[in-house]
Amino acid sequence: MLDRSIAPAAYPVDKILFPTPNQFTLANGIQVWVVSAGEQEVFKFELSTKAGAIHSPLAGLAGMTASLMKRGTSTHSAQAINQDFDFFGAFWDIQASLDHGTFTVYGLNKHFNSLIPLVAEILQDAIFPADEVEKEIEIERQKTKLNWEKTSYSASQKFRAQIFPNDPYGRFTLADDFDCLDQKIIIEQFEATWKTQQPVIFLSGKISEEQIKFLDQTLGQISFSSPVIHIPTLQPAPKPLKIREEKEGSVQSSIRFGLPAISRAHPDYFNFSLMNTVLGGYFGSRLQKNIREDKGFTYGISSSLAPYPRGGYWVVGTDVNGENVNETLAEIKKEITILQNDLVSEEELDIVRNYLMGSFTGELTQAFDIAEKVRVIQLDGLAPDYYDQFQDHIQNIQAQDIRDMAAKYLNLNQMHEVIVG
């Protein structure tokens, strides 16, 4: 009979060379990165362009513009466009993150030539009808009000604002900010970003030469003037701040505890990521074992590194009952101090190595997942062998490296602290 009290043996995972994508250049200069793999006749089309929050002057403007692009063109209403995508069995979405605007389509290869012209039409001819603008603004206003009622949302937004004051990275959107948005401003934002900035395309699935040729015949014929958009140098907060905000009726308190950190391009990024995994980056981490399993203060706690092209931040996040806030913070600081002073055991390091290698290799089984990593390499300006380097660091990192990273970066005197609840 199987003895379930004994864990199964763990074995090292061998390094897998990261697949090399194919690169094509369309007639108008658009770079297309292709990951062709698998037997299913499906594709994922992802167009990324300079239309994120850092490319807009107002809070909420980038996201609102992306959302309203789906509301019709001069020849097709919003209903007609949605019916077309539905008819061809495709999923599609347009979103804006902090750094990029992204137009995504998942579909069947046999409908590729019917779906891409819809993308081209929206990119060139989205019209933002006044009634749709008014309706969408009100919907987003109400969503924003509801989001700010959640302690976890409020804490995360205010933490990022503390880390990056006076920068779009730290800018959050309040319900009243939608009073500053109207049809004219949204059209101006669309024309300054989506319509004129040359994008990059990532195409994955079972991709054929005919599909690349069709991209050239459609999106490759659009002219992009790419006007310069000034983006200021990122300036993190000069000193740490602490915020404790009472929220009436809230049972739990949301904790965000961390500091400005590094981007993926930094030479310490790999070792920092590995150190973070030991501390709070997976379910078997030290923070989970201490604060969730031993103390029972929370259902979950994690630490994470949020890397952006212009910089990043590191944060510990959790929700606990109000009476446990101070003790939770004390335990977080205690675990950081231990990591800064004591070497990680070889057994724990092996578990983390195997976890990371297993997770990474599991993400290389599908073309869509590989293309997402290619997207990171291209948009963050990383080396082509970036993920091969990552695996090398996982396999070769030593306990001293973990301790060095914790001592170098996790300065308890520089931590920002936000508690809402």
Q: Is 43 exposed, middle or buried (0-12, 13-18, 19+ CB in 10 A)?
A: buried
Contacts of 47 (CB under 8 A, 6+ apart): 102, 103, 104, 119, 123, 199, 200, 201, 202, 219
| 3-state secondary structure at position 396 | helix
Q: Determine the pLDDT at residue 320.
A: 97
Q: CB–CB of 240/415 below 8 Å? A: yes
What pTM did the predictor assign?
0.93
| 3-state secondary structure at position 61 | helix
The single-letter DSSP state of residue 71 is: G
Q: Is 413 exposed, middle or buried (0-12, 13-18, 19+ CB in 10 A)?
A: exposed
Please calculate the CA angle 124-128-134 and round it to the nearest 5 degrees.
165
Q: Determine the pLDDT at residue 3.
A: 74
22-221: CATH topology is: Cytochrome Bc1 Complex; Chain A, domain 1 (3.30.830)
The CATH number of domain 242-420, selected from 3.30.830.10, 3.40.50.620, 1.10.260.40, 1.10.10.10: 3.30.830.10
- State the angle between helix axes of 183-192 and 61-68 in degrees (0 to 180), rounded to the nearest 10: 90
Q: Please choose, from the candidates 126, 2, 146, 118, the residue with its C-alpha nearest in 3D space to the C-alpha of residue 66.
A: 126
Q: What is the pLDDT along the chain (421 residues), one digit of tens a residue?
A: 667 777 666 667 788 899 999 999 999 999 999 999 999 999 999 999 999 999 999 999 999 999 999 999 999 999 999 999 999 999 999 999 999 999 999 999 999 999 999 999 999 999 999 999 999 999 999 999 999 999 999 999 999 999 999 899 999 999 999 999 999 999 999 999 999 999 999 999 999 999 999 999 999 999 999 998 888 888 888 899 999 999 888 889 999 999 999 999 999 999 999 999 999 999 999 999 999 999 999 999 999 999 999 999 999 999 999 999 999 999 999 999 999 999 999 999 999 999 999 999 999 989 999 999 999 999 999 999 999 999 999 999 999 999 999 999 999 999 999 999 9
- Which part of the chain is CATH 3.30.830.10? 22-221, 242-420
Q: Determine the pLDDT at residue 14.
A: 80
Measured CA distances, 229 to 7, 55, 225, 259 (Å):
55, 7, 12, 28
Q: Determine the pLDDT at residue 10.
A: 60
* Residue 211, token pair as written in the block: 């599909």
Q: CB–CB of 303/276 below 8 Å? A: yes
* Residue 185, token pair as written in the block: 């401003």
Q: Determine the pLDDT at residue 6.
A: 74
**Beta-sheet strand order (sheet of 200-205):** 22-25, 31-36, 200-205, 42-49, 101-108, 91-96
Q: CB–CB of 73/125 below 8 Å? A: yes
pLDDT digit string, tens, across residues 256-307: 999 999 999 999 999 999 999 999 999 999 999 999 999 999 999 999 999 9
Q: CB–CB of 253/317 below 8 Å? A: no
